[in-house]
């Protein structure tokens, strides 16, 4: 199944946290931090949203940081993705 976001919506997938520290220590699942960086999988067309013109600035493949509790989580084909508004994206990671 394919998802196509509408208006200013963006579909993202959280990037897995690293399993080892910089010093080489392997982390258990409980010790890993919740991932903060996500990869953009799909981007809506933008357009008029709440009476304002919205231009999409993120693109597929970008790594982004979003607000902590933003978006709606959806499970598609066994994969968990999140649908957020572009305004909930705080930064693009370069």
Domain map (residue ranges) of the chain: 9-93
Mean pLDDT in residue range 24-44: 73
CA distance 20 to 58: 30
Tokens representing 91 are 């930064």
CA distance 6 to 50: 13
Q: Provide the pLDDT for residue 2.
A: 86
CA distance 31 to 51: 45
Domain 9-93 has CATH 2.30.33.40: yes
Tokens representing 46 are 């933008």
Pairing type for strands 89-93 and 37-43 reads unpaired
Q: Provide the pLDDT for residue 45.
A: 96
**Which residues are CB-neighbours of 49 under 8 A, at least 6 positions away?**
7, 8
Tokens representing 37 are 């960086």
Whole-model pTM?
A: 0.79
> Quick one: DSSP state of residue 32?
S
């Amino acid at each position: 199944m394919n998802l196509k976001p509408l208006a200013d919506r963006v579909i993202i997938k959280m990037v897995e946290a690293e399993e080892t520290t910089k010093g080489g220590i392997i982390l258990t699942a409980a010790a890993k931090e919740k991932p903060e960086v996500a990869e953009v999988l799909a981007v809506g067309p933008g357009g008029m949203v709440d009476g304002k013109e919205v231009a999409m600035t993120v693109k597929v493949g970008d790594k982004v940081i979003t607000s902590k509790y933003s978006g709606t989580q959806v499970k598609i084909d066994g994969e968990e993705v999140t649908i957020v508004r572009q305004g909930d994206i705080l930064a693009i990671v370069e």
